[in-house]
Amino acid sequence: MTQNEEIRENMLRQVLEHLSQQNESQYHKILTSLAEVATTNGHKLLSLSSSYEAQMKSLLRIVRIFCHVFRLGPSSPSNGNDMGYNGNKTPRNQVFKVRKVYDVFRKIDVKEMNVTKHAIIYHTPSSQDPLELLWHSLDEWLVLIAAELTQNKETSTNIACLLLKQNPVNQQDISLAHHSDFGEDGSPEHLSVLPSTGHFASCEAAVNQEAVADGQDVISMTANRLSAVIQAFYMCCSCQMPPGMTSPRFIEFVCNHDEVLKCFVTRNPKIIFDHFHFLLECPELMSRFMHIIKAQPFKERCEWFYEHLHAGQPDSDMVHRPVNENDILLVHRDSIFRSSCEVVFKSNCEKLKQGIAVRFQGEEGMGQGVVREWFDILSSEIINPDYALFTQSADGTTFQPNSNSSVNPDHLNYFRFAGEILGLALYHRQLVNIYFTSSFYKHILGIPVNYQDVASIDPEYAKNLQWILDNDISDLGLELTFSVETDVFGAMEEVPLKPGGASILVTQENKAEYVQLVTELRMTRAIQPQINGFLQGFHMFIPPSLIQLFDEFELELLLSGMPEIDVTDWMKNTEYTSGYERDDPVIQWFWEVVQELTQEERVLLLQFVTGSSRVPHGGFAYIMGGSGLQNFTIAAVPYTPNLLPTSSTCINMLKLPEYPSKEILKDRLLVALHCGSYGYTMA
Amino acid sequence: MSETYDFLFKFLVIGSAGTGKSCLLHQFIENKFKQDSNHTIGVEFGSRIVNVGGKSVKLQIWDTAGQERFRSVTRSYYRGAAGALLVYDIASRETYNSLTNWLTDARTLASPNIIIILCGNKKDLEAEREVTFLEASRFAQENELMFLETSALTGENVEEAFLKCARTILNKIDSGELDPERMGSGIQYGEASPRHAKHMHGTQLQNRQQCNC
């Protein structure tokens, strides 16, 4: 929407707001007229020859105004102005009345739908609410499309045909082409493009028979238009509900048209973000579409994720801006955890979303590199066993909340802090130096855990659970009950798995329930307060509706980046400046040295230059600098004896002196790495 | 940007598939014959301002798909229509035979006061004629319809059909038979309407509507 249109919308809204507040009949007249205009607009939008963009925008604009005026009621008591016009109004009642009218309509509408399904001519209700006409048309369209879908299911021999929107009449013409397409690239994204209407038209001409506007094309041609109307419908339904609640009418609507809506989303998953973003706010509705979304490439979901995460934020966080001295997070290197915790709790969440500036006490360094280092060492601190917040998994590589963290009296606040740091890092695409257990990622995502997740903290126990499931336990005399003994700092406590669990025996019949409950106890219930604390902090930056786009493995990639450093990829994505060329002997030596380094030393080198020990998802091509993507760069510095390499972490630049030999280069580099990868001074 | 008119009428074009409904609309709006016409999907929309008896009337015309599979959708567009062109093909008896069904739909689903004009289209295909003028005009009389034979190809009687329908509606408004104020009449006042003053808010809305057409 251009600014101009926005101003016009605002003006119009203000005028209508003012007029509608004058008296009750005026209010109703305005609402009706708005509804009429919206209805006409909506119908036009459904007309294929109209401009989709323009009609969609104007429909949504009108509906926004309609909802705004509707919400106001005939006159809002909070608005002091209304005293000037007419004193005796009962706005709440009035709104209520309108709601009742809507309810009546709703009932009629539902009845009607049933009737039309049986193709019986029905009588129109009085057309007091013109918008109901539009919703009615919308319903009819969706019913039509559902019919088209079934029809195509019958005529298509396999599911690929259906997905490929094949015209049964033209099957011979295009089936070959489409099948080969499908063979090469079966991604659903590909499907949404096929076939173009032009293609269809030409096929139609070629077949030269009574032209059939193919059902699949009806769907692809109307999907966007219908989706926009659905969005408008949602807005109207929502404006009659208290904020945060999804209208039952809308839920019913989605259930009724489940199949068609799924088809739309399958065709073009972006519809979710263009028109159905409300789905993200309503988990019970979203769950219907989740499997379709999850089938989309990870990269695309990342884009959607950040697009919506940053929607409404004034500027990208990657852009350098003058930092207000008060907004700098000043932390102490020697008490990084506590000092960071203090400053983060004190700062404003919205400001942190706009950008983070960190300075270590007593150091001058500032900028993206410092921020990266802060996240890096802070995340290592979070899992520091001294704080007892997280425990290692069985193999020592991953972490999850410690069920006994309450030994640290302030532990829940620290979990909230940990959640905030992780959320903040994800928000700003910073990587952290922690790997969690898959069950903990599942907790972040809100996915239920299963017994296999137990393996990460106790592989032996998981094996036992597996064994219980796999074998008949009737005659073994295990004498298991629905309770578990746990070790709380040496003292054994019996915890029932469900009320009265200690006296319920585990049998062949209920063993599945037992395994699930044990899993939940060990993986969830035991650390529920910790999880809740963590999520409370995490959700300050990352709404649960968006994070659910990913699974636990993808979340790990998002949070922690790639664990291995690929030297070939590194070389490929490195630039050279100030006199260095790819073929210079010094550069050759440098890469030979890097090849010789241990994995750990490579991480140190990466950290030395970029401030982060992690390679972002996608490899070195996606390393971030102070202002967006910034490749790893090596710059030449004149050599003087004993001079060490230095770096500018903001721009990922390694300043490498022109060493006379490979041996000296390696020696100096290692000295720099082992002494200098932490701490900033102006070199 | 702004065009003024006294009234806005919602019109429908209905009839069996292939009778030339979209071509009639196209001829009326663009004064051209639409050569490569595909089947209409759902509905198509067009509008034009005409001058009828000294009043400017904006005709908002909904061209509906004639195919049976779209019946459920197009039916929902009937509501709130002030006038309709009921179209058949003079060279196809089948399209003529189904007129009764279309008529029932229109009378039941649209406003009971809807003004309908019967159009025997493809008048230019005289050699292939299957429905005589006399027969159709008798049908029109029995069902209280106006009647014209039209040709979207040559443009003959196309303008006349729309205007005749609009004129009848205006007459009925003047005689008080039709009340534009009644909801669902398919008639709205425009900016230039004498009732303008009564509809302060309407002005704004009409403005919007015009720029979105």
Q: pLDDT tens for residues A138-175?
A: 998 888 888 888 877 666 444 433 444 433 433 333 33
Q: Which residues of A touch B62 (CB under 8 A)?
A: 43, 47
Return left, alpha or beta for A479; rule: phi > 0 is left, psi -120 to 50 is alpha, else beta: left
Q: Would you state the structure tokens that stand for residue A341, as one six-digit string? A: 């915790």
pLDDT in the model for residue B130: 95
DSSP assignments along A510-524, one per residue: THHHHHHHHHHHHHT
- What mean pLDDT is reported for chain A? 75
Compute φ and ψ for B52, nearest 5 degrees. Answer: -125, 120
- The reply to whether the predicted model has a pTM over 0.95 is no
Average pLDDT over residues A592-597: 88
Decide if A47 and B44 are in contact by the 8 Å CB cutoff: yes
Q: Which residues of B touch A222 (CB under 8 A)?
A: 41-42
Q: Which residues of A touch B209 (CB under 8 A)?
A: 37, 40-41
Q: Which residues of A touch B104 (CB under 8 A)?
A: 121
Interface confidence, given as ipTM, is: 0.80
Instruction: Count the helix, strand and coil residues of chain A and give each as a percent rounded to the nearest 5.
Output: 60, 10, 30
Q: Please, are residues A523 and A449 in contact by the beta-carbon 8 Å criterion?
A: yes
pLDDT over 60 at A107, yes or no: no
pLDDT in the model for residue A187: 38
Q: Does A113 touch chain B (CB under 8 A)?
A: no
Cα B130 to Cα B6, B87, B123, B147, distances in angstroms:
41, 15, 11, 17
Average pLDDT over residues A527-545: 91
Question: What is the C-alpha R_g of chain A?
Answer: 31
Query: Is the Cα torsion angle A566, A567, A571, A572 positive or negative in sign?
Result: negative
Contacts of A68 (CB under 8 A, 6+ apart): A13, A17, A239
Query: Is the Cα torsion angle B168, B170, B175, B181 positive or negative in sign?
Result: positive
For residue A217, the chain B residue with the least C-alpha distance is: B41
Task: Give the Cα separation of A403 and A391 in Å (integer).
Answer: 8
Q: What is the DSSP letter of A481?
A: B
Of A519-533, A645-659, B7-21, least confident by mean pLDDT is: A645-659
Q: Within 13 A of B78's CA, how many CA atoms are on the CB side?
A: 29
pLDDT in the model for residue A416: 93
Kind plus residue range of the DSSP H or E element containing B165? helix B158-174
Q: Does B188 touch chain A (CB under 8 A)?
A: yes
pLDDT in the model for residue A211: 36
Q: Which residues of A touch B38 (CB under 8 A)?
A: 201, 204, 211, 213
Q: Which among A203, A282, A650, A675 is annotated as catalytic?
A: A650
Decide if B38 and A213 are in contact by the 8 Å CB cutoff: yes
Q: What is the DSSP letter of A615?
A: B
Q: Does B79 touch chain A (CB under 8 A)?
A: yes
**Neighbour-count burial for A105-114, b at 16+ CB within 10 Å, e otherwise:** bbebbeebbe
Residue A322 in 3-state DSSP?
coil
Would you mind telling me the total number of residues written for chain B in this entry?
213
- The residues that bridge with B11 in the sheet, in sequence order, are B61, B83
Task: Give the Cα separation of A253 and A233 in Å (integer).
Answer: 10
pLDDT in the model for residue B122: 95
What is the CB neighbour count within 10 angstroms for residue A469? 13
Specify whether A203 is catalytic: no
- Where chain B has pLDDT below 50, the residues are 1, 195-213
Decide if B208 and A12 are in contact by the 8 Å CB cutoff: yes
Return left, alpha or beta for A436; rule: phi > 0 is left, psi -120 to 50 is alpha, else beta: beta
Chain B window 109-148: which residues touch A at a Cβ cutoff of 8 Å?
A: 109
In this prediction, residue A210 has a pLDDT band, given cuts at 50, 70 and 90, of: very low
Q: Within 13 A of A670's CA, how many CA atoms are on the CB side?
A: 11
Decide if A34 and B205 are in contact by the 8 Å CB cutoff: yes
Decide if B105 and A121 are in contact by the 8 Å CB cutoff: yes
Q: Does A40 touch chain B (CB under 8 A)?
A: yes
Which of A158, A151, A163, A213 minimizes the C-alpha distance to A188?
A163
Compute φ and ψ for B84, nearest 5 degrees. Answer: -145, 145
